C-alpha cells in the first residue's frame, strides 16, 4: 500500500472500535509497530485526536478533537448522511441552508457511483421528522425505488399485508405492479406513492413492507398526482379524505397553559387566553375521535364549537361510564 492508502485504512480501523492495541493494528496493516506509530503521528498532524492507551499491549484511541478533521465514510454511511441532509427541512431549527451546503460539499467529493445513486433520491417530506419510530427500511430498497422513479420504470414488488406485518403468522405476499412517482417521508416513516396498474388507482405503500423484484418493468409516462401536489395528496389520504382537510374540526378551551399544550398539539392551533388557559383548534376524521384526542390532556375543558363536538363528548362519556361499570374485578 502507498502511504495514503495505509493512512486511510488506519483511520477506517480506528473508527470501528474504541481501543486498538498497536500490535493488532500493525498486523491488520501488515506493517511494523514503528510504522504504525509514524502513521498515528501523521494523522495527529492532520487534526485527528488520537490518544495513546495504557496497558500490557499499549494502543490507540480515536477521540473527539478541537477541530473537525476530514471524515472517512463508507458508501452506505455517505448515502445515509446525504439522505438525512435532504430530509433536514422537516426538522426545522433553521438548519435548512446549512444542510443544503453540506449536501453540496458531500456530492462534490463523492465518486460517480455514489453521485448516481444520490441523484436518484428525490424526497417529499410531510410533517416533522422523528415524531414516530421509523420502520425497518433498507437503504438498498430506498435507492432501488428512487432509481425506478427517476428512470420511469414500472416497479414489481411483493407487499407484506398489514395483518401479516403485525402478527407472527405469515400470510402470502401480495404481488404488485406499480408506476412509482414519489418517495415520501412522514413522521419518521417512508412511503412510496404510485399508480397501481392492477387496481387502477393511486396507492400509498409503506416502504418497510416492500420486497422488490427483478427485473423492473417497462418504461411509462408519468401521470399527474390527484390535485397536482404530492404533499397535499398524501396528507389528505392520511386524514381519510380526498382533500387535505380534516372532515371534522372543533375548538375547546383547555384549563392548561399554552406552553404545556403546544408540544402535543400536532397540527392543531393553540391560542393563549391567559397564563392558565388556552384554546386548541384541531381536526380528525370523526367527531368521536376528535373528542377522544382532547382527552389526552386530562384537564377540565369546555367546548367552544361546534355542537357536534359537544355531542361527541356526551356519547364518549356514556361509553366510558359503561366500560368502567362493566370492567371485570381483579382477584
What pLDDT score was predicted for residue 123? 72
Same fold flag, 3-63 and 248-325? no
Q: What are the residues whose beta carbons fall under 8 Å from the beta carbon of 14, sequence distance 6 or more?
A: 20, 43, 48, 50, 60, 61, 62
pLDDT digit string, tens, across residues 300-322:
999 999 999 999 999 999 998 88
CATH class of 3-63: mainly alpha
Spatial CA neighbour of 210 closest among 153, 143, 275: 143
Secondary structure (3-state) at 74: coil
Q: Which residues of the chain have pLDDT under 70?
A: 1, 55-57, 65-71, 87-96, 126-136, 162-172, 240-244, 328-331
Q: Which triple of cell numbers denotes residue 297?
A: 390532556
Strands 278-284 and 301-305: unpaired
Q: Ramachandran region of residue 73, left (φ > 0), alpha (ψ -120 to 50) or beta?
A: beta
What pLDDT score was predicted for residue 88? 67
DSSP class per residue in 172-192: PPEEEEEEEEEEEEETTEEEE
Every domain of the chain and the residues it spans: 3-63, 120-238, 248-325
What pLDDT score was predicted for residue 167? 44
Domain at 248-325, CATH from 3.30.70, 3.30.420, 1.20.1510, 1.25.40: 3.30.70
pLDDT digit string, tens, across residues 38-57:
999 988 888 788 888 876 66
Q: Which triple of cell numbers denotes residue 109?
A: 467529493
What pLDDT score was predicted for residue 170? 53
Distance from C-alpha of 110 to C-alpha of 103, rounded to nearest angstrom: 10
Distance from C-alpha of 207 to C-alpha of 118, rounded to nearest angstrom: 18
What pLDDT score was predicted for residue 69? 62
Residue 93's Cβ-count burial label (10 Å; 0-12, 13-18, 19+) is exposed
Strands 201-206 and 189-196: antiparallel
Share of the chain above pLDDT 70, in %: 84
Q: Within a 10 A sphere around the Cβ of 282, how many other Cβ atoms?
A: 20
Amino acid at each position: 500500500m502507498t502511504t495514503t492508502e495505509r493512512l486511510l485504512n488506519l483511520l477506517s480501523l480506528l473508527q470501528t472500535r474504541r481501543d486498538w492495541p498497536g500490535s493488532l493494528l500493525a498486523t491488520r496493516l501488515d506493517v511494523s509497530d514503528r510504522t504504525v506509530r509514524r502513521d498515528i503521528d501523521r494523522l495527529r498532524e492532520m487534526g485527528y485526536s488520537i490518544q495513546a492507551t495504557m496497558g500490557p499491549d499499549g494502543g490507540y484511541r480515536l477521540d473527539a478533537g478541537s477541530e473537525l478533521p476530514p471524515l472517512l465514510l463508507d458508501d452506505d454511511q455517505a448515502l445515509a448522511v446525504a439522505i438525512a441532509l435532504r430530509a433536514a427541512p422537516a426538522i426545522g431549527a433553521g438548519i435548512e441552508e446549512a444542510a443544503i451546503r453540506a449536501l453540496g460539499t458531500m456530492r462534490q467529493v463523492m465518486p460517480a457511483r455514489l453521485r448516481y445513486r444520490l441523484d436518484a433520491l428525490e424526497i417529499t417530506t410531510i410533517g416533522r421528522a422523528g415524531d414516530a419510530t421509523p420502520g425497518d427500511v433498507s437503504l438498498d430498497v430506498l435507492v432501488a425505488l428512487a432509481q425506478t422513479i427517476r428512470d420511469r420504470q414500472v416497479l414489481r414488488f411483493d407487499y407484506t399485508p398489514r395483518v401479516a406485518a403485525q402478527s407472527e403468522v405469515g400470510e402470502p405476499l401480495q404481488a404488485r405492479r406499480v408506476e412509482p412517482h414519489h418517495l415520501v417521508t412522514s413522521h419518521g416513516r417512508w412511503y412510496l406513492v404510485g399508480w397501481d396498474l392492477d387496481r387502477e388507482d393511486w396507492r400509498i405503500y409503506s416502504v418497510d413492507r416492500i420486497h422488490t423484484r427483478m427485473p423492473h418493468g417497462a418504461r411509462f409516462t408519468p401521470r399527474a398526482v390527484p390535485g397536482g401536489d404530492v404533499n397535499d395528496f398524501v396528507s389528505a389520504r392520511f386524514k381519510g379524505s380526498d382533500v387535505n382537510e380534516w372532515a371534522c374540526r372543533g375548538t375547546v378551551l383547555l384549563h392548561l397553559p399554552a406552553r404545556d399544550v403546544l408540544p402535543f398539539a400536532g397540527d392543531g392551533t393553540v391560542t393563549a387566553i391567559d397564563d392558565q388557559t388556552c384554546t386548541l383548534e384541531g381536526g380528525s376524521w370523526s367527531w368521536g375521535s376528535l373528542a377522544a384526542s382532547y382527552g389526552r390532556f386530562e384537564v377540565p375543558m369546555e367546548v367552544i364549537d361546534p355542537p357536534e363536538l359537544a355531542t361527541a363528548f356526551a356519547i364518549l362519556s356514556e361509553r366510558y361510564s359503561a366500560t368502567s361499570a362493566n370492567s371485570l374485578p381483579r382477584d
